[in-house]
Amino acid sequence: MQRFYTQLAQVLHTYTQVDPNLLTSLFEIPPDKSLGDIALPCFRFSKEWKKAPQAIAQEIASQVTHESLIERAVAQGPYVNFYLTRKIALTEVLDDVVQDRGVFTSNRGNSQTVAVDLSSPNIAKPFSMGHLRSTVIGTAISNLLASDGYNVLRINHLGDWGTQFGKIIVAYHAWGDPVLVQNNPITQLNALYVKFHEEALAHPELEDQARATFKRLEDGNEEDLALWRWMIDVSLAEFARMYTLLGTTFTHNLGESFYNDKMDAVVAELLQKNLLVTSDGAEVVMLDDISLPPCLIRRSDGATLYATRDLAAALYRHKELGASHLYYVVGNEQKLHFQQIFHVLSLLGYDFAASCYHIAFGMMRLDGRKMSTRKGQVVRLEDVVQEAISRARAIIEEKNPTLHDVEHVAQAIGVGAVIFNDLKTNRLHDIDFSLTNAVAFDGETGPYVQYTHARACSVLRKANVLQEDVSPSSMVTSWQNNHSDIDDPTWNLIKEISKASATRLRAIDEADPSLIAKHVLDVCQAFNYFYHECPILTAEAPVRALRLALTDATRVIIRASLVLLGLQHPAEI
Ligand code: ARG
- How many angstroms separate the CA atoms of 263 and 258, rounded? 10
- How many Cα atoms within 13 Å fall on the side-chain side of residue 391? 20
Q: Is 117 in the pocket of ligand 1 (CB under 6 A)?
A: yes
Residue having the nearest C-alpha atom to atom 5 of ligand 1: 120
Rama region for 473: left / alpha / beta (φ>0; ψ in -120 to 50; rest): alpha
Residue 353 has pLDDT above 70, yes or no: yes
**Residues 65, 152: one domain?**
no
**CATH for 457:** 1.10.730.10
Type of residue at 482: N
Q: Is 219 among the domain residues?
A: yes
| Residue among 330, 336, 339, 358 whose CB has most ligand 1 atoms within 8 A, to mutate | 330
**Residues 409, 516: one domain?**
yes
- Confidence at residue 477, expressed as pLDDT on a 0 to 100 scale: 61
**Residues 8, 140: one domain?**
no
Into how many domains does the chain fold?
3
- Confidence at residue 116, expressed as pLDDT on a 0 to 100 scale: 98
Crossing angle for the helix pair 514-533 and 446-463, nearest 10 degrees?
40
**Residues 473, 349: one domain?**
no
- Confidence at residue 370, expressed as pLDDT on a 0 to 100 scale: 60
pLDDT-derived band at 368 (thresholds 50, 70, 90) equals low
Average pLDDT over residues 341-357: 98
Average pLDDT over residues 128-139: 95
Q: Tell me, in angstroms, the distance from the centre of ligand 1 to residue 130's CA.
A: 10
Q: Tell me, in angstroms, the distance from the centre of ligand 1 to residue 331's CA.
A: 9
Q: What is the pLDDT of residues 241-272, one digit of tens each?
A: 999 999 999 999 999 999 999 999 999 999 99
Chain centroid to CA 302: how far?
39
**CATH for 58:** 3.30.1360.70
Q: Is 299 among the domain residues?
A: no
Residue 553 has pLDDT above 50, yes or no: yes
Picking from 338, 365, 392, the residue at the C-terminal end of a domain is: 365
Of 307, 362, 366, which Cα lies nearest the Cα of 331? 362
Cβ atoms of 373 and 125 within 8 Å: the answer is yes
Cβ atoms of 7 and 501 within 8 Å: the answer is no
Q: Tell me, in angstroms, the distance from the centre of ligand 1 to residue 259's CA.
A: 14
Cβ atoms of 428 and 518 within 8 Å: the answer is no
Q: Is 310 in the pocket of ligand 1 (CB under 6 A)?
A: yes
**Residues 395, 357: one domain?**
no
Q: Is 278 among the domain residues?
A: no
**Residues 413, 559: one domain?**
yes
* In 36-157, alpha helices (H): 46-49, 53-63, 86-98, 129-147
Average pLDDT over residues 89-115: 94
Mean pLDDT in the chain?
Answer: 92
Q: Is 279 among the domain residues?
A: no
Crossing angle for the helix pair 541-565 and 488-498, nearest 10 degrees?
30
Residue having the nearest C-alpha atom to atom 1 of ligand 1: 159
- Confidence at residue 482, expressed as pLDDT on a 0 to 100 scale: 58
**Residues 403, 525: one domain?**
yes
Cβ atoms of 446 and 420 within 8 Å: the answer is yes
Share of the chain above pLDDT 90, in %: 81
- Confidence at residue 208, expressed as pLDDT on a 0 to 100 scale: 94
Cβ atoms of 394 and 382 within 8 Å: the answer is no
**Residues 392, 431: one domain?**
yes
Backbone angles phi, psi at 283, to 5 degrees: -100, 130
- Confidence at residue 470, expressed as pLDDT on a 0 to 100 scale: 42
**CATH for 154:** 3.40.50.620
Of 224-238, 289-303, 361-375, least confident by mean pLDDT is 361-375
Q: Tell me, in angstroms, the distance from the centre of ligand 1 to residue 255's CA.
A: 10
- Confidence at residue 366, expressed as pLDDT on a 0 to 100 scale: 79
Residues sharing a CB contact under 8 Å with residue 503, sequence separation 6 or more, in sequence order: 515, 516, 519
Q: Is 129 in the pocket of ligand 1 (CB under 6 A)?
A: no
Average pLDDT over residues 390-404: 94
Average pLDDT over residues 344-359: 98
Backbone angles phi, psi at 304, to 5 degrees: -85, 165
**Residues 419, 351: one domain?**
no
Q: Is 296 among the domain residues?
A: no
pTM of the model: 0.94
Q: What is the pLDDT of residues 28-40, one digit of tens each?
A: 999 998 999 999 9
pLDDT-derived band at 376 (thresholds 50, 70, 90) equals very low
Give the count of beta carbons closer than 10 Å to the beta carbon of residue 461: 13
3-state helix, strand, coil in the chain (%, to 5): 60, 15, 25
Q: Is 57 in the pocket of ligand 1 (CB under 6 A)?
A: no
pLDDT-derived band at 303 (thresholds 50, 70, 90) equals confident
Strand partners, 154: 116
Share of the chain above pLDDT 70, in %: 95
- Confidence at residue 373, expressed as pLDDT on a 0 to 100 scale: 46
Of 197, 158, 194, 181, which Cα lies nearest the Cα of 231? 181
pLDDT-derived band at 371 (thresholds 50, 70, 90) equals low
Strand arrangement of the beta sheet that strand 356-359 belongs to: 252-253, 151-156, 113-117, 323-329, 356-359
DSSP 52: -
**Residues 71, 154: one domain?**
no
- How many angstroms separate the CA atoms of 6 and 147, rounded? 23
- Confidence at residue 514, expressed as pLDDT on a 0 to 100 scale: 98
- Confidence at residue 466, expressed as pLDDT on a 0 to 100 scale: 55
Pairing of strands 79-84, 70-76: antiparallel
Q: Is 160 in the pocket of ligand 1 (CB under 6 A)?
A: no
Q: Is 305 among the domain residues?
A: no
The residue segments making up the domain with residue 557 are 381-565
Picking from 297, 332, 365, the residue at the C-terminal end of a domain is: 365
Of 496, 511, 531, which Cα lies nearest the Cα of 97? 496
Q: Tell me, in angstroms, the distance from the centre of ligand 1 to residue 350's CA.
A: 22
**Residues 489, 429: one domain?**
yes
SS (H, E, C) 130-194: HHHHHHHHHHHHHHHHHHCCCEEEEEECCECCCCHHHHHHHHHHHHCCHHHHHHCHHHHHHHHHH
- Confidence at residue 464, expressed as pLDDT on a 0 to 100 scale: 82
Q: Is 533 among the domain residues?
A: yes
pLDDT-derived band at 501 (thresholds 50, 70, 90) equals very high
Q: Is 497 among the domain residues?
A: yes
Q: Tell me, in angstroms, the distance from the centre of ligand 1 to residue 4's CA.
A: 43
**Residues 327, 472: one domain?**
no
pLDDT-derived band at 375 (thresholds 50, 70, 90) equals very low
